[in-house]
Chains A and B, each alone.
Chain A
Amino acid sequence: MHVGILGGGPWGMALAKAARRARSTTMLCSRRHQDGSLKGIKITAELAELATTRLIIVAVPSDKARALARELGKYLDGSHVLVHGIRGLSGDELSTISDVIREETPVRRIGALGGPVQADELAEGRASAIVVGSAFGDVTSAVTKALSGRWLQVHTTRDLRGLEWASALVGCLSIGLGYVQARQDVSPGLLAALISRGVDEAASIAVAAGAKRETLYGLGGYGDLLASMALPDRPEVILGRELAAGKTLQQARDSAHLRIEAIELVPRIARFAHQAGITPAIFDGLTSILTGQADPEETVRALFSA
Chain B
Amino acid sequence: MPAMRDEAPIFRFNEQRPHLVSRTIDRVVDTTEDVLRSLNDAAYHETRRLDKARRAKDVERLAQWRSLAKRLGRMSEPQRRARLRELVSEYAHDIAGNFDPRVHKLSTRLIPALVTSLLSPSKLPRLVRHPQQLFSLDALRDKVVVQGNVDHLRKLAKNSTLIFVPTHSSNMDSIVFGFALERSRLPPATYGAGKNLFTNPLLSFFMHNLGAYKVDRRLRHRIYKDCLKAYSAVLIEEGYHSLFFPGGTRSRSGRIEQRLKLGLMGTGIEAYTRTLMANKERRVYFVPATINYLLTLEAESLIGDFLSEAGRERYIIEDDESSRLGRVTTFSRQLLGMNGSVVIRFGRPLDPFGCDVDEDGQSHDRRGRRIDPASYVRNLDGEVNLDQQRNAQYTRELGQRIADEYKRETVAMSTNIVAAACFEQLREHTGGGDLFDTLRVRDHVCPRDDLARKARRIRDDLLDLEKSERIHVAGNVRGCSGGDIVAQAMRAFRGYHTIKVLDHAADGLALRDPKLLFYYQNRLVPHGVAWDANAPRATPPAGAGANTGGRR
- Which residues from chain A sit less than 8 Å from chain B, CB to CB? 54-55, 70, 73-74, 77-79, 81, 102-106, 108-109, 135-138, 142, 277
Measured CB to CB, the closest approach of chain B to A48, in angstroms, equals 14
A74–B389 CB distance below 8 A: no
A54 and B383 CA atoms in complex are apart in Å by 12
Taken together as a complex, chains A and B put the C-alpha atoms of A70 and B366 apart, in Å, by 11
User: Is the C-beta of B397 less than 8 angstroms from some C-beta in chain A?
Assistant: yes
Q: A78-B372, A104-B366, A104-B367 are in contact. List 14 more A-B contacts (CB 8 A).
A: A54-B380, A73-B367, A77-B371, A77-B372, A77-B375, A78-B375, A79-B379, A103-B366, A105-B365, A106-B375, A108-B397, A137-B390, A138-B379, A142-B380
What residue of chain A has the Cβ atom nearest to residue B388's Cβ? A137
Q: Given A70-B367, A104-B367, A106-B365, are A137 and B389 also a contact pair (CB < 8 Å)?
A: yes
Q: Which of B355, B369, B376, B389 contacts A79 (CB 8 A)?
A: B376
B382 interfacial by beta-carbon distance below 8 Å: yes
Smallest CB separation, B434 vs chain A (Å): 16
- Interface centre among B365, B367, B378, B536, by most chain A C-beta atoms within 10 angstroms, is B365
Asked if A78 and B380 make an inter-chain contact with CB atoms under 8 angstroms apart, the answer reads no
Residue B393 interfacial (CB < 8 Å): yes
Q: How far is the CB of B533 from chain A (nearest CB, A)?
A: 16
CA distance A105 to B368 in the complex (A): 10
Give min CB distance, A99 to chain B, whole Å: 11
Query: Using a Cβ–Cβ cut-off of 8 Å, how many residues does chain B contribute to the interface with A?
Result: 25
Q: Could you give 12 example pairs across A and B, Cβ below 8 Å? A: A55-B380, A70-B367, A73-B367, A77-B371, A78-B371, A78-B375, A103-B366, A104-B366, A104-B367, A108-B397, A136-B390, A136-B393
Q: Does B359 contact A (CB under 8 A)?
A: no
Across the interface, A138 reaches (CB within 8 A) one of B371, B380, B396, namely B380
In chain B, positions 318-377 with a C-beta closer than 8 Å to chain A are 353, 355, 365-367, 369, 371-377
Q: Look across to chain B and name the residue whose beta carbon is closest to the beta carbon of A139.
A: B390
Contacts of B376 in A (CB 8 A): 78-79, 108
Which chain B residues border A55 with CB–CB below 8 Å? 380
Residue B60 interfacial (CB < 8 Å): no
Kindly provide the distance from the CB of B364 to the nearest chain A CB, expressed in whole angstroms. Answer: 9
Q: Which of A74, A106, A137, A138 has the most CB of B within 10 A?
A: A106
From B366, B373, B387, B396, contact of A78 by CB (8 A) = B373
Contact in complex: B380, A73 (CB < 8 Å): no
Interface status of B394 (Cβ within 8 A of chain A): yes
Q: How far is it, in angstroms, between the C-alpha of A55 and the C-alpha of B375 when the chains are bound?
A: 14
Contact (Cβ within 8 A) B378 A106: no
- Across-interface contacts of B375 in A (CB, < 8 A): 77-79, 106
Contacts of B369 in A (CB 8 A): 73-74, 106
Interchain nearest-CB distance for A50 vs B (Å): 15
Contact B380 A81, beta carbon cutoff 8 Å: yes
> Contact between A106 and B380 (Cβ–Cβ < 8 Å)?
no
Residues of B within 8 A of A74 (CB): 369
Question: Separation in Å of the B447 CB from the closest CB of chain A?
Answer: 34
User: Which residues of chain A are within 8 angstroms of B378 by Cβ–Cβ distance?
Assistant: 78-79
Q: Which 10 A-B pairs have the closest CB atoms?
A: A78-B375, A78-B376, A106-B365, A77-B375, A79-B378, A79-B375, A137-B389, A106-B371, A54-B380, A135-B393
A105 to B389, CA, bound (A): 22
In the complex, which residues of chain B have a beta carbon less than 8 angstroms from the beta carbon of A138? 379-380, 387, 389-390
Interface string of B114-142 (1 = CB under 8 A from A): 00000000000000000000000000000
Point out the residues of chain B lying under 8 angstroms from A77, CB to CB: 371-372, 375
Chain B residue contacts of A135, Cβ below 8 A: 393, 396
How far apart are the CA atoms of A138 and B388 in the complex, in Å? 11
Q: Pick the most buried of B367, B377, B380, B536: most chain A CB atoms within 10 A of its CB.
A: B380
Which chain B residue has the least Cβ–Cβ distance from A106? B365
A53 to chain B, nearest CB (A): 9
- B353 contacts A108, C-beta separation under 8 Å: yes
A102 to B379, CA, bound (A): 19
Which residues of B have CB within 8 Å of A103?
366-367
Question: What are the residues of chain A within 8 A of B371 when measuring CB–CB?
Answer: 77-78, 106
A138 CA to B377 CA, complexed, in Å? 11
Determine the distance from Cα of A37 to Cα of B444 in the docked complex, in whole angstroms.
Answer: 79
- 534-552 of chain B: CB within 8 A of chain A: 536
Distance, CA A38 to CA B313, complexed state (A): 62
State A78–B380 Cα separation when bound (angstroms).
11
Bound complex: CA A224 to CA B375 (Å): 35
A73 to B382, CA, bound (A): 18
> Which B residues are in CB contact (< 8 Å) with A73?
365, 367, 369
A54 CB contacts on chain B under 8 angstroms: 380, 382
Nearest-Cβ distance from residue A10 to partner chain B, whole angstroms: 27
CB distance from A79 to the nearest CB of B (A): 4
- C-alpha gap A3/B393 in the complex (Å): 23
Most buried by B among A81, A138, A142, A277: A138
- Bound Cα distance from A105 to B365, whole angstroms: 7
Given B365, B366, B382, B389, which contacts A136 in the complex, CB threshold below 8 Å? Answer: B389
